[in-house]
């Protein structure tokens, strides 16, 4: 299976690096950065070269790429109330390896999209972050940019590289939308046609698709306490290009799964969002739907999660009231150990796409695991890990279905509930593409996504 975008969530590896690996106390190669919550400019950028001679997989099989012995950058960070995002961009395939203040290793390959890595810390710790930018698959060195941000949850904010830009001040083609936090209905949808004659790659190499010169939709948004999700869905391959109130461009191709784009702004700014829905690969125009939501996605940061589908399962499909096959779990926020792990087998005889086109894999009739959860102030991550390609199907306390294929490491699924509800979560781990069964671990966490 082709590489897919990974959910932008930190993967914790509670391991000690072998003796020949990274030296967390060595002077950084490029820079020591000292930042406090609310820093400007955001993102803070360090230009560097990726790579080194150390194979990061020797730290853990969850780490990728070749990195230097000394850290590339040392970040001394005093958090405020916002998350912390660390990402890298390059024309080549790069990775991230981070030793955080808790002494754990956090690694990522492609969560930032277009083979770029991103690690997010929802509740960042005070202290030192030792950061390496690796080169995937070889010990070569390539120009790269390290980005440190508190506000770029959906994608790293990028400034344009071309003077011939779309006109952000032109009248939008389809609609001007005025929304405030807590708006209904949610999602707010706009039916439109994707595409145009302008190649979004001229804005930045991080952008894809062909878009119109004028915005498709202008969103005037006054945020509340919730994230903002902007996505599009179509029977064709579409992309998103958004110029946000901070003046940066945010782009995504397949973050919503099934070739649909999705951008998440965890701490959205008040102001104007100019939104384009592009067509990938050519200037064709296709029917599409733009979705604006505060609650309609469990995703943070560019992975492959989908909007919940508020529909009951078909009568012949999964039974949310059946006794779970493996375990009923009762957890309260702050639970320990974290993650809580259930060892099980994936798969079943029911095609999850019958629930919604956004769901994938074959699952059992009965839930694999029932989670009775007493939510607190932390996010909830539900993920699965297996040597096979697995999927997640979850019926949450709000009655909606949340599905994911590859937002976790490799071809593993992960679903994030930024503001989880208390109640019952019925959880299935499916097998992608076939009704086979494979050994799997289900992970339930408030700290990170597998």
Write the pLDDT tens digit of every residue in 50-86: 999 999 888 877 788 999 999 999 999 999 888 888 9
Q: Are the beta carbons of 240 and 275 closer than 8 angstroms? A: yes
CA–CA separation, 247 and 236 (whole Å) = 29
**Looking at the predicted structure, is the pLDDT value of residue 309 above 50?**
no
Q: Measured between alpha carbons, how far is residue 210 from residues 200, 256, 260, 278 in Å?
A: 6, 18, 14, 5
**Which domains are present in the chain?**
12-149 (2.60.120.380), 175-293 (2.60.120.380), 327-445 (2.60.120.380)
Q: What pLDDT, on a 0 to 100 scale, did the predictor assign at position 154?
A: 38
Cis ω before 187 (30° cut-off from 0): yes
In whole angstroms, what separates CA 186 from the centre of its chain?
21
Instruction: Indicate if the alpha-carbon torsion angle 176, 43, 449, 432 is positive or negative.
Output: positive
Q: What pLDDT, on a 0 to 100 scale, did the predictor assign at position 391?
A: 93
For strands 44-49 and 127-135, give the pairing.
unpaired
**Looking at the predicted structure, is the pLDDT value of residue 441 above 50?**
yes
Q: What percent of the chain has pLDDT over 90?
A: 32
Name the band, by pLDDT with cuts 50, 70 and 90, for residue 161: very low
Tens of pLDDT, residue by residue over 190-235, are: 999 999 988 888 887 678 899 998 999 999 999 988 889 899 988 8
Give the alpha-carbon dihedral of 132, 135, 141, 142, to 10 degrees.
-100
Provide φ and ψ at 58, rounded to 5°.
-75, -20
Closest CA to 60 of 97, 24, 87: 97
CA–CA separation, 209 and 275 (whole Å) = 13
Mean pLDDT value of segment 403-410: 81
CA–CA separation, 263 and 312 (whole Å) = 27
Place of tokens 């389809």: 174
**Looking at the predicted structure, is the pLDDT value of residue 279 above 90?**
yes
Mean pLDDT value of segment 373-377: 89
CA–CA separation, 306 and 299 (whole Å) = 8
Place of tokens 């060595």: 26
Mean pLDDT value of segment 9-30: 58
Q: Are the beta carbons of 142 and 185 closer than 8 angstroms? A: no
pTM: 0.38
CA–CA separation, 85 and 83 (whole Å) = 7
What is the overall mean pLDDT for the chain?
81
Q: What pLDDT, on a 0 to 100 scale, did the predictor assign at position 132?
A: 95
Give the alpha-carbon dihedral of 331, 334, 336, 340, to 10 degrees.
50
**Looking at the predicted structure, is the pLDDT value of residue 254 above 80?**
no
The three-state secondary structure class of 114 is: coil
Q: What pLDDT, on a 0 to 100 scale, did the predictor assign at position 164?
A: 54
Beta-carbon neighbour count of residue 33 at 10 Å?
18
Name the band, by pLDDT with cuts 50, 70 and 90, for residue 5: very low
Tens of pLDDT, residue by residue over 88-144, are: 988 888 999 999 998 888 898 877 777 888 888 888 899 999 999 999 988 888 888
CA–CA separation, 163 and 387 (whole Å) = 46
Q: What pLDDT, on a 0 to 100 scale, did the predictor assign at position 425?
A: 93
């Amino acid at each position: 299976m082709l590489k897919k975008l990974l959910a932008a969530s930190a993967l914790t590896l509670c391991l000690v690096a072998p003796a020949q690996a990274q030296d967390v106390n060595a002077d950084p190669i490029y820079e020591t950065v000292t930042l406090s919550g609310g820093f400007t400019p955001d993102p803070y950028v360090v230009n560097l070269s990726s790579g080194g001679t150390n194979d990061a997989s020797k730290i853990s099989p969850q780490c990728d790429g070749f990195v230097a012995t000394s850290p590339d950058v040392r970040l001394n960070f005093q958090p405020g109330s916002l998350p912390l995002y660390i990402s890298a961009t390059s024309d080549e395939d790069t990775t991230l390896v981070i030793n955080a203040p808790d002494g754990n290793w956090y690694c990522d390959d492609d969560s930032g999209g277009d083979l770029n890595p991103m690690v997010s810390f929802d509740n960042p710790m005070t202290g030192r972050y030792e950061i390496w930018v690796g080169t995937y698959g070889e010990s070569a060195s390539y120009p790269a940019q390290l980005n440190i941000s508190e506000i770029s949850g959906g994608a790293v904010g990028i400034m344009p590289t071309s003077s011939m830009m779309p006109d952000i001040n032109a009248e939008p083609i389809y609609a001007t939308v005025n929304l405030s936090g807590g708006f209904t209905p949610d999602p707010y949808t706009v039916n439109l046609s994707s595409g145009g004659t302008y190649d979004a790659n001229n804005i930045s190499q991080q952008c894809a698709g062909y878009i119109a010169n004028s915005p498709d939709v202008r969103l005037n948004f006054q945020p509340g306490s919730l994230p903002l999700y902007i996505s599009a869905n179509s029977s064709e391959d579409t992309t998103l290009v958004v110029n946000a109130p901070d003046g940066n461009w945010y782009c995504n191709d397949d973050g919503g799964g099934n070739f649909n784009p999705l951008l998440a702004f965890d701490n959205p700014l008040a102001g104007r969002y100019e939104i384009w829905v592009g067509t990938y690969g050519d200037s064709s125009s296709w029917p599409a739907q733009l979705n604006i939501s505060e609650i309609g996605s469990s995703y943070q940061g560019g992975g492959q999660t989908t909007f919940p589908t508020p529909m009951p399962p078909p009568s012949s499909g999964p039974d949310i009231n059946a006794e779970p096959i493996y375990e009923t779990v009762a957890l309260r926020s702050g639970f320990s150990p974290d993650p809580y792990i259930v060892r099980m087998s994936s798969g079943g005889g029911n095609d999850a796409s019958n629930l919604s086109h956004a769901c994938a894999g074959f699952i059992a009739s009965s839930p694999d695991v029932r989670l009775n959860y007493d939510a607190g102030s932390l996010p909830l991550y539900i993920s699965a890990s297996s040597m096979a390609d697995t999927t997640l199907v979850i019926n949450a306390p709000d009655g909606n279905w949340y599905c994911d294929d590859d937002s976790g490491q490799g071809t593993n699924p992960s679903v994030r509930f930024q503001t989880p509800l208390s109640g019952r979560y019925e959880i299935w781990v499916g097998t992608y593409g076939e009704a086979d069964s494979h050994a799997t671990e289900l992970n339930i966490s408030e700290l990170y996504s597998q």
